[in-house]
Amino acid sequence: MNALKKNPILFSSMLSPLLISDWQAHVNFEIDRDGKSHGAQSSVSLVISEETILFDNHTRYGTLTGKAELLDVSVDEVSILLLVQERCHDGACRTIMSSVVHANLNMPTTVNLFNEQFDEFVSLKVEIFSV
């Protein structure tokens, strides 16, 4: 126990191993509109409370950018803020998806949205691993 008193970093890491784990996200994004489909896939590392770019792809409408922020980690699940935006050729920016997802570890979670105004269907599948 004396060793733990002398090394507070070791002690805190023993109390909270989830916070020091490395987190990996596998992402599959698809958007269907005007009878055409576009997709993006990536695998990225996530750091708690830091925004991470998932993808940054050009389409005929503009640039699609996906971002994630790892909000919270527990033994059973992780909470992630997922944001997908489109920067149009005219400079306008539109949010396609903004959602907080609660995902179990090592199990894919899917968010599906339909936007009637733009006649588009969006699907984002994410799977989180601790490595």
Summarize pLDDT for 59-105 with one digit per residue, the tens: 888 999 999 999 998 888 899 999 999 999 899 999 999 999 999 98
Residue 6 resides in a domain? no
Residue 11 has a pLDDT of 46
Residue 25 resides in a domain? yes
Domain that holds residue 112: 21-130
What distances in angstroms separate CA 6 from CA 14, 17, 20, 42, one per listed residue? 14, 19, 20, 42
Residue 52 resides in a domain? yes
Cβ–Cβ < 8 Å for 82, 98: yes
What distances in angstroms separate CA 93 from CA 32, 49, 67, 68, 104, one per listed residue? 18, 24, 14, 18, 31
Residue 14 resides in a domain? no
Domain count, the chain: 1
Residue with tokens 């570890």: 105
Residue 12 resides in a domain? no
Residue 58 resides in a domain? yes
Q: pTM of the prediction?
A: 0.80
Cβ–Cβ < 8 Å for 123, 111: yes
- Per the structure block, which two tokens stand in for 2? 């004396």
